Copies of this chain bind each other. A is one copy, B any other.
Amino acid sequence: MSTEDTPDPREQLMALAEQFYDQFEDGDVPRMQVPTRTKTNIEYDEDKHVWVYGDRTSTRTAKTVSGAEKLLKATYTIDFLLQQIEEGRSSTLRELYYLSESWDLDEAQFGSQDESNSLIEDLEIVSGATREDFHMRPEESGATIMGPLRLREQTRRGEREIHCQKDVGEGGYQIPNNPDTIDFLDNDADFVLCVETGGMRDRLVENGFDEEYNAIVVHLKGQPARATRRITKRLHDELDLPTVVFTDGDPWSYRIYGSVAYGSIKSAHLSEYLATPEADFIGIRPQDIVEYDLPTDPLSDSDINALESELEDPRFQTDFWEEQIELQLDIEKKSEQQSLASRGLDFVTDTYLPERLDEMGVL
């Protein structure tokens, strides 16, 4: 959220610390209010099509020793984050946990990494900033991009202008941990195609699909990292490009689509930053399994359970998904993206994707 109309994360963190200071000065017991983060306080926003928190809040207060220690840890962490932002540095969640061992007060040190992770989530929610604004890096970085797009990345070593076809190897452009360091310069793209598996991503690049169809191919690498979801959202919103998601045809892959499009319960406070509700599912649909007579595997018990729980999931309560999931429960089969190779290595790029993109009105 480092666009110009959002407040400085340093001010937002400082405001939190000042709030504790004022509470002390007024003779109040210091406290911090955060939305209750249980499943019952997370709602699916039918208008925005993403997960958001409900109205219930919890209060962390210094009335108890453990509550006081929580706030102490919060102030030490705010101090560290302010210094880190000031110095233009960054760290991982795991480093923060270990780093607390160097703090002078034993009571301020974290007992487990769950505790420090959870505090950073609290600070994201209360300050309205994101982990990326605090310069906290994930352990696992984003995936890659290949397509007709020129961008400028602000690195610690200066700016880098990179064309995501002409200036990269076959591996593509590696998405940095914080994609908000990127400016999109110019592009010849007609749409964004997010792809689940590396095998299919490589197939599309080898067949020159990104060149022939002016597609920006984003490799999701299974369940996508935050950086991958963030850049997908920015590509869609800022370049005004239709965005489609191409995965295996099984319930776990539908969840990958769901996390790109609608966000996840865990990151409900970040849905507007990470989710792309306009992203459409291109396939593999259960209908494709039938129509293209694809090689299949039988559904396992856990596949069936996952499909049934998707029927109850508000994100999948559309005519499209109900029809597809019921068809899949009926045929009791699933297919992988790469099963399209049973029609030859060019079938996916010559036939399947063009047909689907045409049906969906993208081409």
Contact = CB atoms under 8 A, between A and B. Distances in A.
A198 B140 contact: yes
Interface stretch (A27-35, A168-176, A234-242, A259-267): A168-176
Interface in A68-92: 89-92
A179 to B, nearest CB: 10
A89 B349 CA distance: 14
Interface in A84-118: 89-92, 94-95, 98-99, 101-102
A37 B226 CA distance: 42
A295 interface: yes
A109 to B, nearest CB: 10
Interface residues of A, number: 55
A206 B90 contact: yes
A124 B172 CA distance: 28
Contacts of A295: 98, 101
A272 B160 CA distance: 37
A140 B201 CA distance: 10
A150 interface: no
Identify the interface centre among A181, A336, A339: most chain B CB within 10 Å of its CB: A339
B160 A342 contact: no
Contacts of A139: 197-199
A338 B98 contact: yes
B177 A168 contact: no
Interface in A154-207: 155-157, 160, 162, 165-177, 181, 197-199, 202-203, 206
A142 interface: yes
A162 B155 contact: no
B169 A102 contact: no
Given A98-B342, A338-B95, A171 B142 contact: yes
Contacts of A169: 153, 155, 160, 162, 173-174, 176
Given A156-B206, A197-B139, A339 B98 contact: yes
A266 B203 CA distance: 26
Nearest to A137: B202
The 7 closest A-B pairs by CB, nearest first: A171-B174, A101-B342, A95-B341, A98-B341, A92-B199, A153-B169, A170-B176
19 contacts: A89-B345, A92-B203, A95-B203, A95-B341, A98-B340, A98-B341, A99-B344, A101-B295, A101-B342, A102-B344, A139-B199, A141-B171, A156-B170, A160-B167, A160-B169, A167-B167, A168-B174, A169-B173, A174-B174
Interface of A: 89-92, 94-95, 98-99, 101-102, 137-142, 144, 153, 155-157, 160, 162, 165-177, 181, 197-199, 202-203, 206, 208, 211, 295, 336, 338-345
